[in-house]
């Protein structure tokens, strides 16, 4: 018993085959955005983006007016004349993700690192926003 039926659409496949095989022409996929995980910890927020195959220099990260913008404009490698592809699908698409950051985040202390295809951003909270320990008040 099949739980998931594979849907095959004839028309989009025909267009893809025509453009990609005959002329080796690729239509850029502008809807492709990297997957993101956001975690809130006691002292900071952690944002992880899955962006394999890129370099640190491909990213631009900005914090302005309560918005965190992460963008990439990776250049595609030029293909030499000797290389003849039957089908070519490798590409690095440009993307831009924007997140609203809460007032509790200190924008001057945002830090980023890139390792093993994951871009990680650490957004520390301001001291005023950190959870204060309980204080017992004596009744007089």
Q: What are the boundaries of each domain within the chain?
A: 32-76+92-128
Q: What is the mean pLDDT of each run of 10 residues along the chain (140 residues)?
A: 51 55 47 86 93 88 92 68 69 82 90 94 86 75
Q: Which two tokens stand for residue 60?
A: 């631009």
pLDDT of residue 140: 78
The neighbour count for residue 69, using CB atoms within 10 Å, is 13
pLDDT of residue 110: 93
pLDDT of residue 85: 74
- CB contact at 8 A, 109 and 124: yes
pTM reported for the whole predicted model: 0.63
Instruction: Give, in order, the Cα–Cα distances in Å from 75 to each of 17, 54, 89, 91, 123.
Output: 25, 10, 15, 9, 28
Non-local (6+) Cβ contacts of 102 within 8 A are none
CATH number, span 32-76+92-128? 2.60.40.790
pLDDT tens digits, 15-51: 555 555 444 444 444 447 889 999 999 899 999 999 9
- Beta-strand pair 36-40/111-115: unpaired
pLDDT of residue 138: 82
């Amino acid at each position: 018993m099949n739980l998931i039926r594979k849907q095959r659409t004839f028309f989009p496949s025909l267009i893809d085959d025509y453009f990609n095989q005959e002329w080796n022409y690729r239509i850029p996929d502008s809807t492709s955005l990297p997957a993101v995980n956001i975690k809130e910890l006691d002292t900071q927020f952690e944002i992880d983006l899955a962006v394999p195959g890129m370099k640190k220099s491909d990213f631009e990260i900005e914090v302005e007016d309560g918005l965190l913008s992460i963008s990439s404009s990776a250049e595609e490698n030029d293909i030499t004349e000797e290389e003849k592809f039957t089908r070519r699908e490798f590409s690095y698409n440009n993307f831009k993700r924007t997140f609203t950051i809460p007032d509790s985040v200190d924008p001057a202390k945002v830090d980023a690192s890139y390792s093993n295809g994951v871009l990680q951003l650490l957004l520390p909270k301001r001291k005023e926003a950190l959870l204060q320990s309980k204080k017992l008040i004596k009744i007089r």
